[in-house]
């Protein structure tokens, strides 16, 4: 029902924009950045060949490796330890106001000449939160009782997620501000798209690898079969 409702809202609003929005023909049309797809890719290739851009792309492609496992796996591990999915989903609700307010606050610190300073300062705290998340997963089974989990447990989880959001948005807004600052105004759209795409990729590939490595790196013990190994999926099923 939720997806159906918002799907209908998207369809209606985009259709209304297509039908009702008109271009302002009185304004002088600006020169197009590129004339076609081939020109766009040629331009992107010339941008990415620049030494500074290449170095920056390598930085943002590898910067999130350190906390990829904590970001991608923590929620799944908490569910595995018995935390109800609906309770974790409910904890996301208080995060919404925080997610709206944080960019407004952080943008004041990224508006200066060195927006990446915020990114660098937030990184060690986000790495430490990865250790805190690992502790949270380890602690979860010890506080579980027959009735579920105590209120103080959910308060700790909520505070952990809130601190994580602060570090996440500090890094995210800083990268966006830096991308906007260094992009050539003449080809701003193409430049920003390239840098933002690489930035998104830098967050997605480590999470994918982390999820893929969870199973082979998980230590398992076979109850009632000391001689049997449970290292692989097939062996665990046996």
Q: What is the pTM of this model?
A: 0.77
| pLDDT band, residue 33 (cuts 50/70/90) | low
Task: Quote the DSSP letter at residue 82.
Answer: T
Mean pLDDT of the 214-233 span: 76
Q: How far is CA 220 from CA 116, 217, 224, 236, in A?
A: 42, 9, 13, 8
Task: State residue 233's pLDDT score.
Answer: 72
For residue 9, the tally of other CB atoms under 10 A from its CB is 10
Per-residue pLDDT tens for 72-111? 999 999 998 889 999 988 988 888 898 899 988 998 888 8
Cβ proximity of 200 and 60 under 8 Å? no
Above pLDDT 70, what percent of the chain? 95
The predicted pLDDT at position 19 comes to 92
Angle at 226 between CA 222 and CA 228, to 5 degrees: 65
Q: Give the Cα separation of 187 and 34 in Å (integer).
A: 8
Q: Which pLDDT score, from 0 to 100, does residue 181 have?
A: 87
pLDDT tens-place string over residues 159-198: 999 999 999 999 999 999 998 888 877 776 788 888 889 9
Q: What is the mean pLDDT of residues 210-238?
A: 78
Residue of 120, 116, 99, 122 whose CA lies nearest to 177: 116
Q: Looking at residue 183, what is its pLDDT?
A: 81
Q: Say what the pLDDT of residue 10 is.
A: 97
Instruction: Summarize the confidence of residues 142-166 as an average pLDDT.
Output: 90
Model confidence at 119, pLDDT cuts 50, 70, 90, reads very high
The conformation of residue 111, written as its DSSP 8-state character, comes to S
Q: Under a CB-based contact definition with an 8 Å cutoff, are residues 102 and 169 in contact?
A: yes
């Amino acid at each position: 029902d939720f997806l159906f409702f918002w799907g209908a809202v998207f369809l209606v609003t985009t259709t209304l924009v297509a039908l009702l929005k008109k271009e302002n023909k009185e304004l002088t049309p600006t020169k197009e950045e590129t004339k076609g797809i081939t020109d766009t890719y040629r331009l992107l290739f010339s941008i990415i060949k620049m030494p500074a851009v290449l170095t920056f792309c390598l930085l943002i492609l590898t910067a999130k490796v350190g906390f990829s496992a904590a970001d991608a796996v923590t929620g799944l591990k908490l569910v595995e330890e018995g935390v109800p999915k609906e309770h974790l989903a409910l904890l996301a609700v208080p995060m919404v106001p925080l997610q709206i307010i944080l960019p407004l606050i952080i943008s004041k610190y990224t508006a200066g000449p060195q927006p990446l300073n915020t990114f660098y300062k937030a990184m060690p705290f986000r790495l430490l939160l990865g250790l805190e998340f690992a502790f949270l997963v380890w602690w979860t089974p010890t506080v579980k009782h027959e009735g579920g989990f105590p209120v103080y447990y959910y308060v700790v989880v909520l505070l952990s997620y809130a601190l994580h959001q602060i570090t996440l948005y500090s890094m995210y807004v800083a990268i966006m501000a830096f991308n906007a600052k260094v992009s050539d105004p003449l080809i701003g759209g193409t430049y920003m798209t390239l840098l933002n795409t690489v930035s998104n990729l830098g967050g997605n590939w480590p999470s994918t690898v982390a999820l893929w490595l969870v199973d082979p790196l998980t230590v398992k013990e076979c109850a009632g079969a000391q001689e049997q190994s449970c290292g692989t999926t097939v062996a665990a099923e046996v």
